[in-house]
Structure 1
Amino acid sequence: MVALLATGAIAMAGTACSSQKATDGRGNDDGKIKIGLVTKTDSNPFFVALREAAKAQAGKDGAELIALAGKFDGDNEGQVAALENLVQQGVDTILVTPSNSTGILGAIKKAREKGILVIALDTETNPKDAVDATFATDNLEAGKLQGQYVKAALGDRVPQLLMLDGSPGGTVDEQRHNGFLQGIGLTESDPKVLGKESTNGDQNKAQQAMENLLQRAAAVNAVYTINEPAARGGFAALQAKGLADKVVVGSVDGGCQGVRDVKDGKYALTVMQFPKKMAEDGVKAGVEFTRSGKKPSGFTNTGVTVIADKPVPGIQAKDTAWGLQNCWG
Structure 2
Amino acid sequence: MQASRHGRSRHAISEFTAGCAAFALVFGLAGAAGVSGAQAADVIVGLVTKTEVNPFFVKMRQAAEAEAKAKGLTLIARAGKFDGDNEGQVAAIEDLISAGAKGILVTPNNSSGMLGVIKKARDAGVLVIALDTATDPADAVDATFATDNFQAGVQQGAYAKAALGDKTPVIAMLDGTPGGTVDTFRHDGFLKGFGIAEGDPAIAGAAITNGAQDKGQIGMENLLSKNGDINVVYTINEPAAAGGYQALKSFGKEKDVILTSIDGGCAGVRNVQAGVIAATVMQFPYKMASMGVDAVAEYAASGKKPSGFVNTGSYLITDKPMPGLESKDSAWGLENCWGD
Q: Please, what TM-score do these two structures have when normalized by structure 2?
A: 0.87
Counterpart check, 1:214 vs 2:224: yes
Alignment match, 2:302:
292
**Cα distance in 2 for residues equivalent to 1:138 and 1:61:** 28
Alignment match, 2:44:
34
Tell me the amino acid that sits aligned with residue 187 of structure 1: A
Tell me the amino acid that sits aligned with residue 232 of structure 2: A
**Cα distance in 1 for residues equivalent to 2:274 and 2:74:** 40
Considering only aligned residues, what root-mean-square deviation do their CA atoms show, in Å?
Answer: 1.1
Contact 2:111–2:136 at 8 Å: present in 1 too? yes
Partner deviation per Cα, 1:171-226 (whole Å, 9 max, x = no partner): 11011000001111112111110111101111011101111111111001100000
| Structure 1 residue runs without a partner (length 5+) | 1-27
Which of 256, 260, 270 is 1:260 aligned to?
Answer: 270
Partner deviation per Cα, 1:281-308 (whole Å, 9 max, x = no partner): 0000100100111111110000000000
1:117-156 matches, within 5 Å, as: 117-156=127-166
Alignment match, 2:77:
67
Alignment match, 1:53:
63
TM superposition shift of 1:169: 2.1
Which of 293, 299, 302 is 1:283 aligned to?
Answer: 293
Alignment match, 1:183:
193
**Cα distance in 1 for residues equivalent to 2:140 and 2:179:** 18
Contact 2:118–2:141 at 8 Å: present in 1 too? yes
| Structure 2 residue runs without a partner (length 5+) | 1-37
Aligned residues: 302
The ranges of structure 1 where at least 4 consecutive aligned residues each deviate by more than 4 angstroms after the TM superposition are 28-31
Contact 2:41–2:73 at 8 Å: present in 1 too? no
Which of 223, 245, 256 is 2:233 aligned to?
Answer: 223
TM superposition shift of 1:159: 1.1
**Cα distance in 2 for residues equivalent to 1:116 and 1:31:** 17
Partner deviation per Cα, 1:34-82 (whole Å, 9 max, x = no partner): 1000000111100000000000000001101000011111111000000
SS of 1:233's equivalent in the other structure is helix
Counterpart check, 1:160 vs 2:170: yes
Alignment match, 2:330:
320
Tell me the amino acid that sits aligned with residue 49 of structure 1: K
**Cα distance in 2 for residues equivalent to 1:174 and 1:130:** 18
Counterpart check, 1:274 vs 2:276: no
Contact 2:40–2:72 at 8 Å: present in 1 too? no
The structure with the larger Rg is 1
Tell me the amino acid that sits aligned with residue 253 of structure 1: D
TM superposition shift of 1:32: 1.7
Alignment match, 1:10:
none
Alignment match, 1:97:
107
SS of 1:145's equivalent in the other structure is helix
Partner deviation per Cα, 1:113-141 (whole Å, 9 max, x = no partner): 11111111001111111111110010001
SS of 1:312's equivalent in the other structure is coil
**Cα distance in 1 for residues equivalent to 2:316 and 2:132:** 18
Alignment match, 2:254:
244
Tell me the amino acid that sits aligned with residue 161 of structure 1: I
**Cα distance in 2 for residues equivalent to 1:187 and 1:260:** 31
Tell me the amino acid that sits aligned with residue 273 of structure 2: K
Tell me the amino acid that sits aligned with residue 172 of structure 2: L
TM superposition shift of 1:313: 1.5
Partner deviation per Cα, 1:125-164 (whole Å, 9 max, x = no partner): 1111111111001000111100000000011112110110
Alignment match, 1:8:
none
SS of 2:281's equivalent in the other structure is strand
SS of 1:321's equivalent in the other structure is helix
**Cα distance in 2 for residues equivalent to 1:105 and 1:215:** 40
Alignment match, 2:93:
83
Identity of aligned residues (%): 61
Q: Please, what TM-score do these two structures have when normalized by structure 1?
A: 0.90
**Cα distance in 2 for residues equivalent to 1:178 and 1:210:** 19
TM superposition shift of 1:29: 8.5
Q: Taking CA–CA contacts closer than 8 Å with sequence separation of 6 or more, which of the two structures ends up with the larger relative contact order?
A: 2
SS of 2:45's equivalent in the other structure is strand
TM superposition shift of 1:267: 1.1
